[in-house]
Chains A and B, each alone.
Chain A
């Protein structure tokens, strides 16, 4: 199973100091978090894509390319890539280029975006959100699989004899996830293609998450990609830890109360009860995360939110250390022990990545033998 960090890239004042980072510093924090993810043995770093303040990451492949150059084994991903307002041709090109530079360590997650004005800023209409996601992805899917594409659709200028370059690395397109919080149409889309489905369940009650994932699994099987329990599922998670639960709650509360997405609504306690947010000890985080499996079945990727809401970098790095030392090793072991026969332990990897991993473990075996 893969574990990783996803970041929204928000510029939020630290409510305890009133200080807001510069855009430059915030971008560097995102990079530091990514490098730290590799250092502590996590598998994935995924960046958001936004085109409005207070968010900084508008150009995901620029950032992921920079991170690719400074990491060896971290998977680079997105949460999410806007399939509605980006030109699918440009997505095909950008992520194929990134795939070459990162030697296959790339997958990406399609999302629609939820900020109304972004659609007209990019010449689209939010009422076409689902239709855009369907049509644009259908084109992207072909551009990565057919060398020469003739295409016409409703939203984009037609293509005749178009070849998207570079071609995917070794002819294998990046694995794609489709992320949606509330639209059954997107679970249906992920199932149709046999792609992954990611539910960013950090904002949602478990009953709802369960319905979305269950729909995806049933339809995955319906479209002939394999048994429902072998569909590729990812979940979000939002945690904040201290050795003592009460310390975690005391320290995190001002960030919760002032966070743009949480503030002014339910209390921290109500929110923790109704959503998967877990503020407490590492053991509580382990228990809660393991319970996700009871809701959605065996799943393949767990992403945690770490840098957000104005938390200082030092705190974020402490959180990641706890994840790396105390939480993820236990989760890996426990999830592996519970996983049903035949269920993949992660999403499909590019053959280059699999080859590199095999070479590395062979080296390790050889090193052990020599020692």
Chain B
């Protein structure tokens, strides 16, 4: 196999404040993935999508059925990316509504097979399992290739707890980033298929007996 070309990384952050701890975590993860890719000799560009900037457009998309041009550009970036980092604050034991809205307006198959890293922030460490109880099932439904390590950062992780060597925030960020970088390098670089450019021929559709799920 020839050396992989550059890889594109998109970071979706659902933090509400500016600055937010969610964005802080997103940036740390993004920088760590970038470092791992560079270590492997791969150029990576990271684009950050702050969902706060698309909040009105997301509501409008849910009501009208189509995205505004600006939201479409964000969706296209996610669909075309080789890797995804998705970070949300935990509200009421789960991802935030804003975070879910974005993944609700993506095509059902948009994330299929896409190397993804899930991460979340919260006030206390007691919500850390939301990563595995809420985020992981969502991305499993979307058929994303989610890496084994999810990263949860509680408020206290930004202090001393984040630095403790064993299982610290810094260590978990590095481990998750390494896993995502490996998945991005291993997966062949694929442009999303376009049903308008390459339509399924009539005879094949007429003969098809399998219902889409």
Contacts and interface: CB of A to CB of B under 8 A. Distances in A.
Given A127-B212, A130-B205, A214-B196, A264 B63 contact: yes
Interface in A84-139: 125, 127-128, 130-131, 134-135, 138
Interface in B193-207: 195-196, 199-202, 205-206
A265 B202 contact: no
B60 interface: yes
A215 B66 contact: no
A205 interface: yes
A135 B59 contact: no
Contact of A215 (B69, B199, B212): B199
B53 interface: no
A305 B65 CA distance: 19
B206 A205 contact: no
A203 B65 contact: yes
B60 A135 contact: no
Interface string B170-213: 00000000000000000000000001100111100110110111
A156 interface: no
Interface residues of B, number: 21
A264 B59 CA distance: 9
A171 interface: no
B211 A265 contact: no
A266 B211 contact: no
A70 B186 CA distance: 70
B63 A265 contact: yes
Given A203-B65, A264-B63, A185 B200 contact: yes
B124 interface: no
B20 interface: no
Interface in A195-232: 203-205, 208, 211-212, 214-215, 219, 223
A205 B69 contact: yes
A184 B208 contact: no
A308 to B, nearest CB: 16
Contacts of B69: 205, 274
Contacts of B213: 127
A181 B64 CA distance: 12
A131 B64 contact: no
Contacts of B66: 203-205, 208, 274
B211 A131 contact: yes
Given A125-B211, A127-B212, A274-B68, A184 B195 contact: yes
A131 B208 contact: yes
A188 B68 CA distance: 26
Contacts of A61: none
A299 B27 CA distance: 50
Contacts of B199: 184-185, 187-188, 215, 219
Interface string A55-77: 00000000000000000000000
Contacts, number: 64
A189 interface: yes
B60 A266 contact: yes
Interface in A147-205: 154, 181, 184-185, 187-189, 191-192, 203-205
Contacts of B196: 184, 211-212, 214-215
Contact of B205 (A154, A188, A212): A188
Contacts of A185: 199-200, 205
Contacts of A223: 202
A2 B60 CA distance: 33
Contacts of B211: 125, 127-128, 131
Contacts of A205: 66, 69
Contact of A188 (B59, B63, B201, B208): B201
B55 to A, nearest CB: 13
Given A208-B66, A266-B60, A131 B209 contact: yes
B209 A188 contact: no
Contacts of B59: 265
A270 to B, nearest CB: 8
A131 B206 CA distance: 7
Contacts of A138: 206
A127 B195 CA distance: 18
B57 to A, nearest CB: 8
A265 B195 contact: no
**8 A-B pairs closest in CB distance:** A265-B63, A192-B202, A184-B195, A266-B60, A265-B60, A127-B211, A211-B196, A134-B206
18 contacts: A125-B211, A128-B211, A131-B211, A134-B205, A134-B208, A185-B199, A185-B200, A188-B200, A188-B201, A189-B202, A212-B196, A215-B196, A219-B199, A264-B63, A265-B64, A266-B60, A266-B64, A270-B60
Interface of B: 59-60, 63-66, 68-69, 195-196, 199-202, 205-206, 208-209, 211-213
Given A188-B200, A203-B66, 20 more contacts: A125-B211, A128-B211, A130-B205, A181-B65, A184-B195, A184-B200, A185-B205, A188-B202, A188-B205, A189-B202, A191-B202, A192-B202, A203-B65, A215-B199, A264-B63, A265-B59, A265-B63, A266-B60, A266-B64, A274-B68
